[in-house]
Amino acid sequence: MITEYDDPQRGREFAERTREFLDEVVVPKERSLAGGADVSRGTIRELRDAAREYGVYAPQIAEAHGGQGLTFREALPVFEVAGRSLLGPLALRVDAPDEGNMHTLELAGDDLQKERYLEPLVEGKMRSAFAMTEPRPGAGSDPKMIRTSARRDGDEWVIDGHKWWTTQGVEADVFIVLARSDPDAHPYEGCSLFLVDAETPGVEVVRNIPHMGGGPTGKSHAEVRFEGVRVPDEHLLGEEGEGFTIAQLRLGPARLTHCLRFSGVAERSLDVARAYLSEREAFGSRLADKQGNRFALVDAATRLHAARTMVRHAADLIDAGEEARVEVSMAKTYTAAVVQDAVDVAVQACGGSGIGKDLPLSDFYESVRPFRIVDGADEVHKRVVARELFADPPVDELEPLPTYREPGDAGR
């Protein structure tokens, strides 16, 4: 089901071209992997080469760095189309966490950092990870509890800390690490971001944490230790003390792009269910003619339309220069629940075929459930909305931010 939204004309045209690419190239490749086979690096390179030929590769990145130069608002419908296949974001280079890390480097990186890290990431020659979440008693849902430290020593920084749920941490060539660079300042003013090459002495990837979901394209969620890790001063990303400010610029748009990638999953799931119900007959008629089945899909499609509208409203506010923290939290929480329900409806509608691996629904189902926890658990975002609803006074002079939860990362 295609619903028209008030997206920018360039974005709509680009999304339509992307849909053709998905239908003609990506989905056939996806079907060749039926049965849950893991996607190979060779397959990803093949898809990315095809995306370049179609002119849809890296739509959100500036042309100067190898992308198509779409604005944030223009790129949103493209993210949604890409989400119709788990291979889509990988093919277009809008996959998390690299997409969000590339955006961060565009926002805060200097020329040398962009040349050394951003451009190889855009090309697909590097992979990255955003290391923020920590195990107890460090930063989880309360980012003020961050314990990882960065101490200046001459023209170097020495980083010590313990991170986990660091998406793609096992495969990463570079980490963006949030650490306390001023222990005497409030964490929101005393943290900085650092670029840490994975092969730097003192970086230890402890393990890939066993986790739910991901399907054939699932990425690692690593536990990582940084012990006496030394990085030069030029690896400071942005200004000292701006770590949370930069992270927040990353997180708002990231949650919305994540929402639309997953709304693409939900839309495709309903398409699959509708096709199955239209072809299958039982008890004297098509399953699509039975009111219970029809209304279940109608309800799911209606809620999905509401979620997609909410996301675009929040995006418009961000595009206008507003922070839109409450609107983003509302959209993220609602969309996560709606997408989970839509995929569940589709699985149920398709019966045994829904839980089999010949259709993509089983992999979709596993991939969407973590979304109610990643990028801030439901409860964290509801707390943000509740503070606004009840006009609560700030806990301190710096209002707490909803945390960034690493599994599945965030896209932007």
Q: Are residues 280 and 371 in the same domain?
A: yes
Q: Are residues 382 and 255 in the same domain?
A: yes
Q: Are residues 385 and 262 in the same domain?
A: yes
- The CA distance from 52 to 48, in Å, is 6
207 has which bridge partners? 223
Over range 27-55, report the average pLDDT: 88
Q: What are phi and psi of 74, to 5 degrees?
A: -70, -35
86 has pLDDT over 80: yes
The whole-number pLDDT of residue 395 equals 60
Question: What confidence category does residue 397 fall into, taking pLDDT thresholds of 50, 70 and 90?
Answer: very low
**One-letter amino acid identity for 244?**
F
Q: Are residues 277 and 297 in the same domain?
A: yes
Neighbours of 112 (CB within 10 A): 10
396 has pLDDT over 90: no
Least confident of 187-196, 303-312, 370-379: 370-379
Which of 186, 220, 242 terminates a domain? The answer is 242
Over range 119-141, report the average pLDDT: 92
For residue range 228-269, list pLDDT tens digits in order.
999 999 999 999 999 999 988 887 888 999 999 999 999 999
The whole-number pLDDT of residue 153 equals 97
Q: Is residue 397 part of a domain?
A: no
What's the number of CA atoms in the CB half-sphere (13 Å) around residue 337?
12
Q: Are residues 293 and 383 in the same domain?
A: yes
**One-letter amino acid identity for 290?**
K
407 has pLDDT over 80: no
Ranked by mean pLDDT, which of 13-17, 184-188, 245-249, 280-284 comes out on top?
A: 13-17
For residue range 176-221, list pLDDT tens digits in order.
999 999 999 998 999 999 999 999 999 999 999 998 876 666 789 9
pTM: 0.89
pLDDT above 70 covers a percentage of the chain that reads 93
Q: Are residues 220 and 105 in the same domain?
A: no
398 has pLDDT over 80: no
Report the CATH number at residue 197. Answer: 2.40.110.10
Range of the domain at 104: 9-123
User: The tokens of 311 are what?
Assistant: 């996301």
Q: How many domains does the chain have?
A: 3
The whole-number pLDDT of residue 402 equals 42
For residue range 310-365, list pLDDT tens digits in order.
999 999 999 999 989 999 999 999 999 999 999 999 999 999 999 998 999 999 99
Closest CA to 83 of 218, 263, 242, 239: 263
Q: Are residues 279 and 375 in the same domain?
A: yes
How confident is the prediction for the chain on average, in pLDDT? 91
Q: Are residues 83 and 163 in the same domain?
A: no
Report the CATH number at residue 278. Answer: 1.20.140.10
Q: What are phi and psi of 144, to 5 degrees?
A: -65, -15
400 has pLDDT over 50: no
Q: Is residue 28 part of a domain?
A: yes
Q: Are residues 248 and 370 in the same domain?
A: yes
Which of 123, 148, 182 terminates a domain? The answer is 123
Which of 201, 219, 242 terminates a domain? The answer is 242
Q: Are residues 252 and 369 in the same domain?
A: yes
pLDDT above 90 covers a percentage of the chain that reads 78
